[in-house]
Structure 1
Amino acid sequence: MKYIGDYDVIVAGGGTAGSVAAISAARMGMKVLIVEQMGFLGGTATASLVTPLMSNGIKGNPDNSSIGREINERLVATGDAYPDNPSWFNPEALKYVLEDMCMAAGVRLLYYSTVTDVIMEGNSIKGVVIHNKDGFSAVHGRVVIDCTGDGDVAALAGVPYESGRVSDGKNQPVSVRFEVGNIQLDVFADFLNEIGYNGMKGDRVEIASVWGRNWPLEKIFREAVKSGYILEQDGAYFQAFTIPGKPGCMSFNCPEISNITRALDPYNLTYAQVEGKKAIMRLHKFMKKYFAGFQNSYICNTAVNVGIRESRRIKGKYYLKVDDYINCTKFDDAVARTAYPIDIHAVDSEGLQLKYLPEGEYMEIPYRCMVPCNVENLLVAGRCISASFEVQASIRIQVTCRALGEAAGIAAALSIEEEITTGDLNGVKVRKIMRDRGIFI
Structure 2
Amino acid sequence: MIISHKINDQIVQTPFEDQSSHCYDVIVVGLGTAGAISAIVAAEKGLKVLAIDKLSSMGGSGTAGEVLSYYFGSRGGKFEEIDSKVTSYRSDLYTPSVGVNGEIKKYVMEQMALKAGVDIRYESSVTGMLLEGTKVLGIEYFNADGFHYPRSSVVIDCSGDSYACDLAGCELREGRSADGKPQPYSNVVVWHEKGRVRNFYTDSGYVNPSSAEDMSRAIVESAIVSTHLKETYTDEKRWLRVATMLGIREGRCIVSEDDITFKNFLDNSETDCPVFHAYSNLDTHSKDIALESEHVQDWLVASGLWSQKFSVPVPYGAFIPKGYDGILVAGRNIGVDHDIASHVRMKRDAQKCGEVAALASYLAIKNGSSIRDVSYVELLELLQDSSCYEEGSIISWLIDPAEIMEGLSGDKPGIAIWSARRLGEPIVNSLLNWVNTENENLRKHAAIALGLIGNSQALPVLRQIVRERDPYVPQTSHLYSQARGFAAIYLIGKLGDAQMISDLIDILENAIPYEYESNDRSLVYDDQDIHFQYFSYVWTALLRIGECHPDSRERIEIALHRVLGRSDLSLQFSLHGESGIKHSMQDSLRSIAQNYFESWNRN
With the shorter chain as reference, the TM-score category is: 0.7 to 0.9
Matched, 1:322 2:262: yes
Q: Which residue of 1 aligns with 2:321?
A: 372
Matched, 1:52 2:69: yes
Q: Which residue of 2 aligns with 1:263?
A: 209
Task: From the superposition, tell whether residues 11 and 130 of structure 1 become closer, same or farther in structure 2 (CA, over 3 Å).
Answer: same
Equivalent residues of 2:223, 2:229 under 8 A apart: no
What letter is aligned with 2:222? G
Task: From the superposition, tell whether residues 393 and 165 of structure 1 become closer, same or farther in structure 2 (CA, over 3 Å).
Answer: same
Distance in 2 separating the partners of 1:68 and 1:174: 24
Q: Which residue of 1 aligns with 2:456?
A: none
CA-to-partner distance for each residue in 1:387-419, whole Å, 9 max, x for gaps? Answer: 110111101111001111001000011101111
Q: Which residue of 2 aligns with 1:276?
A: 222
Task: From the superposition, tell whether residues 320 and 357 of structure 1 become closer, same or farther in structure 2 (CA, over 3 Å).
Answer: farther
Q: Which residue of 1 aligns with 2:350?
A: 401
Task: From the superposition, tell whether residues 153 and 87 of structure 1 become closer, same or farther in structure 2 (CA, over 3 Å).
Answer: farther
What letter is aligned with 1:376? D
Equivalent residues of 1:11, 1:18 under 8 A apart: yes
Structure 1: any 5+ residue segments left out of the alignment? 81-85, 185-246, 289-293
Task: From the superposition, tell whether residues 423 and 179 of structure 1 become closer, same or farther in structure 2 (CA, over 3 Å).
Answer: same
Distance in 1 separating the partners of 2:380 and 2:68: 28
In the TM superposition, what is the alpha-carbon distance from 1:248 to its structure 2 partner?
2.8
Distance in 2 separating the partners of 1:62 and 1:115: 32
What letter is aligned with 1:344? T
Distance in 2 separating the partners of 1:172 and 1:301: 24
Matched, 1:113 2:62: no
What letter is aligned with 2:87? V
- Aligned counterpart for 1:339 among listed residues 267, 279, 295: 279
Report the identity percentage. 28
Distance in 2 separating the partners of 1:177 and 1:376: 37
Residue 106 of structure 2 aligns to a residue whose secondary structure is: helix
Residue 249 of structure 1 aligns to a residue whose secondary structure is: strand
In the TM superposition, what is the alpha-carbon distance from 1:358 to its structure 2 partner?
6.0
Distance in 2 separating the partners of 1:51 and 1:92: 10
- The 5 Å alignment of 1:34-113 reads 34-56=51-73, 62-63=75-76, 66-79=77-90, 88-113=99-124
Q: Which residue of 1 aligns with 2:236?
A: 296
In the TM superposition, what is the alpha-carbon distance from 1:276 to its structure 2 partner?
1.6
Higher strand share: 1
Q: Which residue of 2 aligns with 1:391?
A: 340
Matched, 1:26 2:26: no
Higher helix share: 2
Equivalent residues of 1:170, 1:347 under 8 A apart: no
- The 5 Å alignment of 1:207-226 reads none
Structure 2: any 5+ residue segments left out of the alignment? 1-17, 92-96, 293-299, 391-603
TM-score, normalization: structure 2?
0.56
- The 5 Å alignment of 1:122-201 reads 122-181=133-192, 183-184=193-194
Greater mean alpha carbon deviation, residues 8-17 or residues 265-274: 265-274
Q: Alignment length, in residue pairs?
A: 358
Q: Which residue of 1 aligns with 2:198?
A: 250
Distance in 2 separating the partners of 1:119 and 1:264: 21
Q: Which residue of 2 aligns with 1:439?
A: 388
In the TM superposition, what is the alpha-carbon distance from 1:313 to its structure 2 partner?
0.7
In the TM superposition, what is the alpha-carbon distance from 1:356 to its structure 2 partner?
5.3
Task: From the superposition, tell whether residues 396 and 87 of structure 1 become closer, same or farther in structure 2 (CA, over 3 Å).
Answer: farther
In the TM superposition, what is the alpha-carbon distance from 1:67 to its structure 2 partner?
0.9
Equivalent residues of 2:162, 2:333 under 8 A apart: yes
Equivalent residues of 1:130, 1:136 under 8 A apart: yes
In the TM superposition, what is the alpha-carbon distance from 1:377 to its structure 2 partner?
1.1
Residue 249 of structure 2 aligns to a residue whose secondary structure is: coil
Equivalent residues of 2:276, 2:388 under 8 A apart: no
Q: Which residue of 2 aligns with 1:230?
A: none
Distance in 2 separating the partners of 1:349 and 1:371: 30
Equivalent residues of 2:171, 2:255 under 8 A apart: yes
In the TM superposition, what is the alpha-carbon distance from 1:297 to its structure 2 partner?
2.6
In the TM superposition, what is the alpha-carbon distance from 1:281 to its structure 2 partner?
6.0
Matched, 1:310 2:250: yes
Matched, 1:363 2:374: no
Task: From the superposition, tell whether residues 315 and 92 of structure 1 become closer, same or farther in structure 2 (CA, over 3 Å).
Answer: same
Distance in 1 separating the partners of 2:112 and 2:337: 33
Greater mean alpha carbon deviation, residues 321-330 or residues 94-103: 321-330
Distance in 1 separating the partners of 2:338 and 2:83: 29
Distance in 1 separating the partners of 2:143 and 2:188: 27
Residue 250 of structure 1 aligns to a residue whose secondary structure is: strand
Equivalent residues of 1:335, 1:366 under 8 A apart: yes
Distance in 2 separating the partners of 1:101 and 1:31: 14
Larger radius of gyration, structure 1 or 2?
2
What letter is aligned with 2:75? P
Distance in 1 separating the partners of 2:283 and 2:198: 23
Relative contact order (C-alpha < 8 Å, sep 6+): which is higher? 1
Task: From the superposition, tell whether residues 349 and 283 of structure 1 become closer, same or farther in structure 2 (CA, over 3 Å).
Answer: farther
Equivalent residues of 2:319, 2:330 under 8 A apart: yes
Greater mean alpha carbon deviation, residues 172-181 or residues 420-429: 420-429
Query: CA RMSD, aligned part only?
Result: 2.5
CA-to-partner distance for each residue in 1:132-157, whole Å, 9 max, x for gaps? Answer: 11221101001100000100111111
What letter is aligned with 2:44? R
Distance in 1 separating the partners of 2:55 and 2:252: 21
Equivalent residues of 2:29, 2:126 under 8 A apart: yes
